[in-house]
Chain A
């Protein structure tokens, strides 16, 4: 079939079109077009109105336009996210999309013909070329849409949901008819009855298709290009609260235009849920349902509503769900239509926490610990003093190049302390001068992710003051959560000194690191380093110097969460399967001798998980700093001994 189409292109071909239309036909056509547009407008208006009547995004700016244009090109025109995640159906979808683009001119011409103004001339070279070109696309679209139809209605992948919408079947059928009627017109020589019949079939399909768009998931055809272009520029961006009555997403009145636009753009593909650590381990949270419930809220309660967003009767947008998110960002990263789940989920948490609506034993304990002790673990800061003294860490006095930030885990967690100590040894071996702060408080990461703006703001402001007072210019830390929070989230309160993760630091010095034959090491990408900061190669360079790098089944951007983020490390027992167990099993399955981590939270989660699912001979668990330190001096690491006795 393709070969035939290509052959036709070479000879130059013509589309069978009716030569003329009667007045009745034209009137009928006009009436049908008017009706189609009318129904389309009637069905679209409430949606447009809901989006337009939503709250303005106070922080919105088109800048940087270049970045937006690039995202548009790459995600919309190139269909990168669609294809990357699910290559076969993704490619099929891309063909349909590109086919539609190719068909834009054909469709315009098609309708123009109905009014006697067809502009594609078959005498020249462009007309025949384009018609043939479109013909190739018609074949690709017809094949792709059939494949997608089979997938949706016969194969029925779990992530598309239990309920398969009839409309999507109808629409697939219409697309198929559009393509076939076009192709047929290429083969029909006569310009009489057959041409006229095909023309009308094509026209009617078009005019039925149009009004179907607004109230089906095919609304994404119109909205998603806009959504992708307009989405917030940063990953997991948390907008600043504006004024005295903004507490986050509490009720409909807080839903902004961008959120509304995203809610209506969802195509229900389920990529977000498929990769969600909460959904896939049997928790209540399903990011797709959150987005769809947001849409249904807007449809029923409306944008200005005072009704709380969470816990409406029967709604999947529940308090429980909102607080199960690990903020790993797999959903936001995967979404092909530009929905930013994290802004929504964290926004809902803000609405609940900033108003005091969220009541949770562990959450309250965490907030009070951050309020009183200034660290998430609720430890006395004296414990940190003792640790610093014992390790003989120099105190930062302005003379050293780096301020080594310990973070809560580095200050109080026995394993985190080992990581910090080993990283300090690496710095010393490299001859880099560093010092630690006398006192540290949490960066506010768990408060930020759980939506506690009061606490986060206090901690951010205090942290900025501490760095300024100590005259710090460069910070290095073992914790990706600290890096993200200090570098990005603190911007709401001021600019912090430059901060880097120890993987960046060590990768820059990779040529000086000891070369080791440390056996096979599987590297686990922390969400806050990978998806949040695009740091993938640096830690791998460090691992590669220490042994043979092995990849887990899911890695890089598609890495699976350890279960600790978003405050979950502090929120008590999980329902369903433990996220950390799922990931630990995946890491163990590589057969690697060592699991390499780059985040003390991941490390701590896996430490527990290995005890439960690691079997008799679990792999060793080491941070990348420890991997490097292993090559520095023949010092036995105590973590092995601990595993036995703990």
Chain B
């Protein structure tokens, strides 16, 4: 069974991000990069799937400039067998920032098609743009069935791998099983597995693994446009509520309802 895991490289969670000079993107000059966390879970599920099946190949796929190779290496160190790097320019025309989610999904789908994968996994969404679409759009482009918010994948039919049953998350703590035939695409929800940590042995083995570079196709016309990016106006700081117990309670309820949105 061949599993392709599409991953994205995103700014580190704690990274201090600034708006780019043109006001329409992120200033990438001082950003530390890391593997998108939901994609790390997708990789983990792929590795565990391979381990459970006792055979197969995990190919990790990432689009972006030169820098994304560190993320691909990390995936190889954790156990992926091969890497495919869809090379895009660092900035300007054809760079990831200039493409919309449909276009990025096209790049990835193209690379997946070349691999003839049985299963494509990717994270539910990215920690940077948070669009949560790449997986579903890829499935549509590839013409394969999909499921989102998947926590666990099970191979049916005694493991010949032609059908799968997945456990996916619904809202409010409900779950659902969905069955489908392969090839298929799944977007993986964080937290379904325990991630593994990178090991010295993994890093050393990764040096011998293949990393194939593919030049990205030219960018299509964007369907949506990013007009403006700005830092949020309200800086998070502790707001102290005062008053009598009843007054405080009333203020809290107001917040719970309209800001925290849990009531």
- Chain A residues at the B interface, C-beta cutoff of 8 Å: 241, 244, 247, 353-356, 359, 361, 363-364, 367-368, 371-373, 380-382, 452-455
Contacts and interface: CB of A to CB of B under 8 A. Distances in A.
15 contacts: A241-B200, A353-B199, A354-B201, A355-B199, A355-B201, A364-B195, A367-B197, A367-B198, A368-B197, A371-B197, A382-B14, A452-B197, A454-B199, A454-B200, A455-B198
A356 B204 CA distance: 13
What are the nearest 7 A-B pairs in CB distance?
A367-B197, A354-B200, A454-B200, A356-B199, A380-B14, A381-B14, A355-B201
Interface string B198-238: 11111110000000000000000000000000000000000
B196 A356 contact: yes
A382 B16 contact: yes
A426 to B, nearest CB: 29
B95 interface: no
A364 B201 contact: no
Given A380-B14, A381-B14, A382-B16, A454 B194 contact: no
Contact of B12 (A354, A364, A368, A372): A372
B13 interface: yes
Nearest to B77: A454
Contacts of B196: 356, 359, 364
A603 B3 CA distance: 49
Chain B: number of interface residues, binned into ranges: 10 to 19
A361 B14 contact: no
Contacts of B133: none
B200 A380 contact: no
A51 B13 CA distance: 50
Nearest to A451: B200
Contacts of A361: 194
Contacts of B13: 372-373, 380
Given A372-B12, A372-B34, A380-B14, A247 B201 contact: yes
A354 B200 CA distance: 5
Contacts of A359: 194, 196
Nearest to B32: A374
Contacts of A355: 199-201
B54 to A, nearest CB: 18
B197 A453 contact: no
A521 B200 CA distance: 45
Nearest to B15: A381
Contacts of A373: 13-14
Contacts of B204: 244
A364 B194 contact: yes
A453 B198 contact: no
Most buried by B among A244, A354, A356, A367: A356
B195 A368 contact: yes
Nearest to A241: B200
Given A354-B201, A359-B196, A454-B198, 17 more contacts: A355-B199, A356-B197, A356-B199, A359-B194, A361-B194, A363-B197, A364-B195, A364-B196, A364-B197, A368-B197, A372-B12, A373-B14, A380-B14, A382-B14, A382-B16, A452-B199, A453-B200
A359 B197 CA distance: 9
Contacts of A371: 197-198
Contacts of A354: 199-201
A353 B198 CA distance: 9
Interface in B1-41: 12-14, 16, 34
A265 B139 CA distance: 65
A452 B197 CA distance: 10
A372 B204 CA distance: 20
Interface in B230-255: none
B50 to A, nearest CB: 15
A247 B203 CA distance: 12
Nearest to A375: B14
Contacts of A241: 200
Contacts of B200: 241, 247, 354-355, 452-454
A498 B54 CA distance: 52
A355 to B, nearest CB: 5
Nearest to B237: A386
A303 to B, nearest CB: 22
A367 B196 CA distance: 9
Contacts of B199: 353-356, 452, 454
Interface string B161-205: 000000000000000000000000000000000111111111110
A364 B193 CA distance: 12
Nearest to B197: A367
Contacts of A353: 197, 199
Contact of A454 (B14, B16, B195, B203): B203
Interface in B30-73: 34
A618 to B, nearest CB: 29
Most chain A beta carbons < 10 A, residue from B195, B201, B203: B201
Contacts of B198: 367, 371, 454-455
Nearest to A350: B200
Nearest to A452: B197
A545 B204 CA distance: 53
B172 to A, nearest CB: 26
Given A364-B196, A372-B34, A356 B16 contact: no
Contacts of B201: 247, 354-356
A224 to B, nearest CB: 34
Contacts of A455: 197-198
Contacts of B197: 353, 356, 363-364, 367-368, 371, 452, 455
A454 B207 CA distance: 14
A353 B203 CA distance: 13
Interface centre among B12, B13, B199 (most CB of A within 10 A): B199
Contacts of B16: 382
A354 B202 CA distance: 8
Contacts of B12: 372
Contacts of A244: 204
A355 B203 CA distance: 10
Contacts of A368: 195, 197
B83 to A, nearest CB: 19
A251 to B, nearest CB: 13
Q: Taking each of A247, A371, A454, which has the highest tally of chain B beta carbons within 10 Å of its own beta carbon?
A: A454
A623 B199 CA distance: 36
A460 to B, nearest CB: 14
